[in-house]
Amino acid sequence: MSMRVTQQIQIGLLVGLVLIGITLFGKGFYMQAKAHFAQYLIEQAWAKTLIDGQSHKPWSWADTYPVAKLSIEQAKRPNHFDGPASNDSLYVLAGASGRNLAFGPALVLSSAPAGAQGNTVIAGHRDTHFAMLNGISVGRRLALQTAAGREIVYQVVATQVVHESQTELMAPSEDNRLTLITCYPFDVLQGGAELRFVVQAIPVEPETAAQSEGATVDRTLEPKVA
């Protein structure tokens, strides 16, 4: 094989790799933009829920609606003295189906509704909304706002990596706790991950959860942790 042919092959491979990279980057940008824009629409629906206590779809063809607002305290930034850390807020949808998870974190409907007694399980994608869980540690505070406008403050008590078959962390509990789940590791973006990163948090102060809160959640939506 001549040097000229070898060079042409190498150039062809390089062009191919560049095109693949551009395609993947474009797809990633589209997914990020879609996720963030959806949260804006969901925020508008949540504002209506806080006013009238009713469920509101974020867009006309949606088969879900927001059921909670999740705020995650950011770690204190260096060189900012000891000022208060800012929060990242996400709006949680009803039903952790694959379609819903593309738009935001979602409540697993077999778990306790937000604000109710038991284990409230929220799932999210590692490359969009729950990317912020990367590096979260014990002691970090979370807040969950219910449809009634009540805010429950939690503190992270454990983080662990488990196999997807280990579903006991999603099981109902008698105490009040919050469980966040996403795929793991964070820096691997292809599908089919077998590991899950799990964050467990308990209320900073004991909460007497109203059993009636979240009773309007439509449990016919199929839950799916991903």
pLDDT per position as a tens digit, 64-108:
999 999 999 876 544 433 333 445 799 999 999 999 999 999 999
Task: For domain 25-203, say whether CATH 2.130.10.30 is its number.
Answer: no
CA angle (58 as vertex; 62, 116 as ends), nearest 5? 95
Query: Per-residue pLDDT for 200 more than 80?
Result: yes
Rounded Cα distance, 79 and 192, in Å: 40
Angle at 157 between CA 155 and CA 161, to 5 degrees: 125
19: confidence class by pLDDT, cuts 50, 70, 90: very low
Is the pLDDT higher at 218 or at 200?
Answer: 200
pLDDT at 38: 87
Domain ranges of the chain: 25-203
Helix (H) or strand (E) holding 158: strand 151-163
Query: At which residue do the structure tokens 């488990």 appear?
Result: 162
Structure-block tokens of residue 178: 């919050």
pLDDT of 56: 97
> Which pLDDT score is estimated for 174?
93
pLDDT value, residue 110: 95
The pLDDT of residue 74 = 75
Q: State yes or no: cis peptide before 185, omega within 30 of 0.
A: yes
Q: Annotate 184-196 with DSSP letters as a single string.
A: E-TT--SS---EE
In this predicted structure, what is the pLDDT of residue 87? 59
Percent of the chain beyond pLDDT 70?
69
